[in-house]
Structure 1
Amino acid sequence: MSRKLAFASLLAAAAAQGAGNQQTETHPKMTWKRCSAPGSCTTVNGEVVIDANWRWLHLDGGTDNCYDGNEWTGCSSESECTSSCVLEGADYTKTYGAKTSGDALSLQFVTKHEYGTNIGSRLYLMASQSKYQMFTLMGNEFTFDVELSTLDCGLNGALYFVMMDADGGTSRYSSNTAGAKYGTGYCDAQCARDLKFVGGKANVEGWKPSDNDANAGVGPMGGCCPEMDVWESNSHSSAVTPHPCETVEYHVCETTNCGGTYSDDRFAGGCDANGCDFNPYRMGVQDFYGAGKTVDTSKEFTVVTQFSEGLIYQFFVQDGVKIDMPNTTVQGVEGNKINEEFCKNQFAAFDDRDRFNEVGGWSKMNEALRGEWVLVMSLWDDHYANMLWLDSSYPPEKASQPGGDRGDCPQDSGVPSDVESQHASATVTYSNIRFGPIGSTVEV
């Protein structure tokens, strides 16, 4: 009896989303500043980690792939893949085009390496080797500098927060032993189903390879949580967007209950996949953001975002000058801040479904802002809608209608194959991150 129990215990220990030993995982170092008042900031020594979805996934004890291209290859069931497959360490610069220098992180869009080609990346700020840096947004402001002059139509340099677990899910799911050190535990308001692992389990049973993305697919499970898009942008358009969820923490959905980008019914899940966005171009001010405009995207600038009860406000600093977000010119919508009145009026003016309030609105968003968030820094293209929802007219039939025009990019732009071939060297740099009470991170 005792020998059987011991054997069963060994099996349980082996059944885990673990880490391999082919390459040592060494996180690039990156500093940031914690502020208490203008001009009073302390440097924090941090590091960054790339998301587990980008990593080489292979059979434990060897080098055979568990996942190749956009298909699972080395295993076939949830239990087998969870217990047999391990995540490998990363060569950040050579493989993923990600590098740090002091307080700056640069992400290159396409990177060719000895094993193939990497497209885009998603990284997280770390507090230690095994824990993500956690931020409580309510009552605080988050500030960073950005250089995105090479990000053309169809690209998205996104800096945002999601309510991931600090340890990447190891405490919540015993089957996840790789944890934050290997970038596990991603979630967002789209209830991401393109993840190879969700809730510590392999997302393999029912996985469908993408028909237009050689590296991606969609599985039955999705990782869901509130999302605060501080910055989704390229050199043509930008948007700041809160996304509340009914459940204010990491949670798992399955198939028809997920909603979001990866489901037939976008509104089926418990999160607001669309959010309540402030995109200056969409709000009627077309000469505000872009190359040579008020916020000139041909050169570096600073983005400041403030979070208070029921209110999100963003402004910019460039060449030492504060630039307020412009007031909307859309009929029936007023102001330059995101609050309850703005969201309610925007949905009505644009004839959009108010999913924001259906999932709890500001009550749920405020609850989330009082919680803890992980900082995400990424660069990506869009195989579902060509990024038209950020920088062009979307949906296409709403061109020239209220809320339909979101940027000056053509409707035939953003096709991933074109973007990847024409703008492979595009790079975004996030730097000089500062965080502290409202009014503490900038002097203007």
Structure 2
Amino acid sequence: MFPKLALISFAFTSVVVGQLVGTYETETHPRVTWQRCTRGGSCQTVQGSIVLDANWRWVHGRTGYTNCYTGNSWDTSLCPDNRACAENCALEGANYASTYGITTSGNSVTLKFIQPNSNGKNVGSRVYLMASDTRYQMFNLLNQEFTFDVDVSKLPCGLNGATYFAGMDADGGMARFSTNRAGARYGTGYCDAQCARDIKFINGEGNAEGWTPSETDVNAGTGKHGSCCHEMDIWEANSISTAYTPHSCDQHNSFRCSDSACGGRDNRYGSQCDPDGCDFNSFRLGDKTFYGPGMTVDTNTKITVVTQFLTDTGTASGNLKEIRRIYVQNGRVIQNSKVNVPGMDAYDSITEPFCAATKVAFEDRDSHGEHGGLASISQGMKNGMVFVMSIWDDHTANMLWLDSNYPVDADPNKPGIARGTCPTTSGVPSEVEASATDATVTYSNIKFGDIDSTY
């Protein structure tokens, strides 16, 4: 996956993040069910809920309602430094439906891309699956499979309805960082392999020092620090293209980075994490008729997405050796597409030989191998990972890395450049936010369990 510096691209001007807890809006987590399955097709329903990521929330002075952050700038009287920010700022509860366009019903979660509200509008969102009101649901993916249904029919070029696993703390960081008073209940502790620097509070402190407002997003910016961890993208998609991608890190718990050590646009490979990952995008890998409207996997209708995490020992204590994808649609099981790239074997899953071959065929830097590859992310999976659901647009690369030719100045006939049929002029956030006001994504029927038990 390409940089997510602009993952948080909302237009609700008072939506930010803090570590203390306010009292203006009661935090009530929308309920959602999911299932835990065992071999033989036995599945037990689990009562869960979701929580909105803290970076979207309103945060204000602890003794009043003055915004700690407005537009894309901090209030320096409340946040003269990072520590003071945590001491002075209170994080509020969320009105999920009316402010953010987030709703649940039974086993489904629907995220609207644009939600008009009393403050203007909210753009995009990110939520986490909860085990309780104060802890995220943790998943050990090794020797297991994860399945969900998704409807991407209303996601045009430039949008990404993404589900993934992040190596976050189960409590949102409260135990490790004493200044974090909000924790998982308020969606704190986000991290990813891009070492996201647009996160406003990291490790229980603000990210105000050295904050640079974005030139393209009036509500976002980049701080001195970033938040890093293993990331397993099981589904990045719109109606045109999809990819699944592991991203490993050298450290196996979430950690804070600083400046150029976070990588990013000016020093992409400077962090302790793999920003590129090892992606399986059927279109990029030579099958241009597999995924899309009216194709083998038809994005006009609901899709069941199965991801299997196979280990070298066939047990949860082994190391990850293969990530296999299966689709189910209209009662038909569809095996993953096969690679059709000169010089490559006909791989149909992510393995170390596949990853090495794609880096050579596409002439890409092997940051996957440099950071330990599948063996490294195995260690993160053993710690447990948090399930993330999101919808977003891209202020860095217009989502072209997912659904168009990227880089745009490269020959699209060169292996690895063409990733989808969207025009290279598509995905501009200002245009997408104006034209895709009805865009939504629905995730439902989440199942987790033994291999071949969830579909």
CA distance in structure 1 between the aligned counterparts of 2:438 and 2:214, rounded to whole angstroms? 24
Which residue number corresponds to residue 212 of structure 1? Answer: 216
Cα deviation for residue 424 of structure 1 reads: 1.4
Counterpart amino acid of residue 94 in structure 2: A
Report the equivalent of 1:421. 434
| Consecutive unaligned residues in structure 2, runs of 5 or more | 1-17, 312-320
* Deviation readout 1:361-418 (Å, 9 max, x if unpaired): 2221222233300000000000000000000011112322110000000000000001
Matched residues in 2 for 1:44 and 1:362: separation?
29
Deviations 1:164-211 (A, max 9, x none): 000000011011010000000000000000000011110001101111
Structure 1: unaligned runs, 5 residues or longer: 1-15
Matched with 1:379 is 391
Q: Aligned equivalents of 1:121 and 1:183: distance in 2? A: 12
TM-score (norm 1): 0.94
Q: 2:206 aligns with which of 202, 205, 209?
A: 202
Is 1:168 the counterpart of 2:172 in the alignment?
yes
> What SS is found at the alignment partner of 1:368?
helix
Please state if 1:113 is matched with 2:102. Answer: no
The within-5 A match list for 1:271-310 is 271-309=273-311, 310=321
Query: How much does 1:161 deviate?
Result: 0.2
- Secondary structure of the 2:409 match is helix
Residue in 1 that maps onto 2:87: 83
Q: Which residue does 1:178 correspond to in 2?
A: 182
Find the counterpart in structure 2 of residue 391 from structure 1: 403
Question: 2:12 maps to what in 1?
Answer: none
Q: Partner residue of 1:45?
A: 47
Cα separation, 2, equivalents of 1:367 and 1:129: 27
Are positions 1:330 and 2:341 aligned together?
yes
Question: For 2:38 and 2:79, how far apart are their aligned partners in 1?
Answer: 51
Matched, 1:92 2:104: no
User: Which deviates more from structure 2 when the two are superposed, residues 71-80 or residues 296-305?
Assistant: 71-80
2:246–2:374 contact (8 Å) kept in structure 1: no
Counterpart selection for 2:250 from 233, 246, 249: 246
Give the whole-Å Cα distance in 2 for the aligned partners of 1:187 and 1:80: 22
CA distance in 2, matches of 1:294, 1:363: 32
State the partner residue of 1:408: 421
1:364 to 348, 364, 376: 376
Letter in 2 for 1:75: C
Q: 1-side partners of 2:177 and 2:200: how far apart?
A: 15
Q: Percent identity?
A: 53
Q: In the alignment, which residue of structure 2 is the partner of 1:68?
A: 70
Alpha-carbon separation, structure 2, partners of 1:122 and 1:215:
16
Q: Say if 2:351 is the partner of 1:339.
A: yes
Q: Distance in 2 between matches of 1:113 and 1:389?
A: 31
Task: List per-residue Cα deviations over 1:419-443 (Å, max 9, x = no partner).
Answer: 000001100000000000111111x
Q: Is the 8 A contact 1:208 1:219 kept in 2?
A: yes
Contact residue 38 and residue 441 of structure 1 kept, 8 A: no
Q: Aligned partner of 1:145: which letter?
A: D
1:141 aligns with 2:117: no
Preserved contact between residue 386 and residue 416 of structure 1 (Cα < 8 Å): yes
Bigger shift: 348-357 or 34-43? 34-43
- Normalised by the length of structure 2, the TM-score is 0.92
RMSD over aligned CA atoms reads 0.9
Q: Is the 8 A contact 2:283 2:418 kept in 1?
A: yes
Structure 1 consecutive aligned stretches of length 4 or more whose deviation exceeds 3 Å: none
- 2:9 equivalent in structure 1: none
Q: Write the letter of the residue equivalent to 1:20.
A: G
Is 1:159 the counterpart of 2:171 in the alignment?
no
Whole-Å Cα distance in 1 between the matches of residues 373 and 43 of structure 2? 34
Q: 2:447 aligns with which of 425, 434, 438?
A: 434
- Rounded to whole Å, the distance in 1 between the matches of 2:438 and 2:413 is 33
Q: 1:258 aligned to 255, 262, 275, which one?
A: 262
One-letter code aligned to 2:70 = D
1:69-111 superposed Cα distances (whole Å, 9 cap, x missing partner): 1111243221221100011000000000000000000000011
- SS of 1:397's equivalent? coil
- AA aligned to 1:267 is Y
User: How many Å apart are 1:38 and its aligned residue?
Assistant: 4.2
Q: Would the aligned equivalents of 2:172 and 2:184 in 1 still touch at CA under 8 Å?
A: yes
**Equivalent residue letter for 1:186:** Y
Amino acid at match of 1:28: P
Q: Which amino acid aligns with 1:72?
A: W
2:34 equivalent among 27, 32, 35: 32
* Aligned residue type for 1:196: K
Matching residue within 326, 337, 341 for 1:315? 326
Aligned length: 425
CA contact (8 A) 1:57 1:67 kept: yes
Separation of aligned partners in 2, 1:405 and 1:317? 26
Distance 2:235 2:296 in 1: 17
Distance in 2, matches of 1:381 and 1:328, equals: 28
Where does residue 8 of structure 2 map in the other structure?
Answer: none
Distance (Å, rounded) in 1 between the aligned partners of 2:26 and 2:301: 37
- Give the Cα–Cα distance (whole angstroms) in 2 for the partners of residues 291 and 139 of structure 1: 32
